[in-house]
Amino acid sequence: MEPSISDRGTHIELAVGLSGLRGADFVDLLARATDRFGRKPLLVLCDDPAREMDLSEAYRIGVDVAVRLPLQAVAIVLRGRRPSEAEYFTEIVAANRGARVRYFHDVASARSWLAA
C-alpha cells in the first residue's frame, strides 16, 4: 500500500500499510508530512489484524519519533486489533525521550486524544 497523506485541518492523517509502519523510513514519512502541512498532530492509520508488529520494531518507532519529532503528538491506530504490550512499551520509550506517541484500536479514540 502506498502511503497517503491528508491535511484534516486539526491534524495530519497518514494511511500506511504495515510494511510502511515497520519500515526504516517510517519517521521520514512523518517528517515529510510535517514539512508539507506544518507542525500538527499526526494520526497514522494502519491495518495489522494478524499482530505482525514486534517489540523491536515498536521500540525503534518510539526512539525514532522522539529523536525526529520531539513533543509532536503521534497517534497510531492499528485497525483490526487492540494494542499489545509491545506498543505500550513504545509509548513509554517515546515518553522517556520527550515524545508523545500513543497506540489505539479505533480512530475516534485517537482523534479525541490528539484534540486534548
Q: What total number of domains does the chain contain?
A: 1
User: Residues of 75-84 as b/e, b for ≥16 C-beta within 10 angstroms?
Assistant: bbbbeeeebb
Reply yes or no on whether the pLDDT at 65 is more than 90: no
- C-alpha 78/C-alpha 73 separation (Å) is 16
Give whichever of 48-52, 57-61, 70-74, 111-115 has the largest mean pLDDT.
111-115
DSSP alpha helix (H) spans, 1-116: 18-22, 26-37, 55-68, 85-96, 107-115
Three-state secondary structure call for residue 73: strand
The domain that contains 98 carries what CATH number? 3.30.750
- C-alpha 50/C-alpha 80 separation (Å) is 8
- Tens of pLDDT along 20-32? 888 888 899 999 9
Average pLDDT in the chain = 88
Q: Provide the whole-model pTM.
A: 0.88
Domain that holds residue 48: 4-115
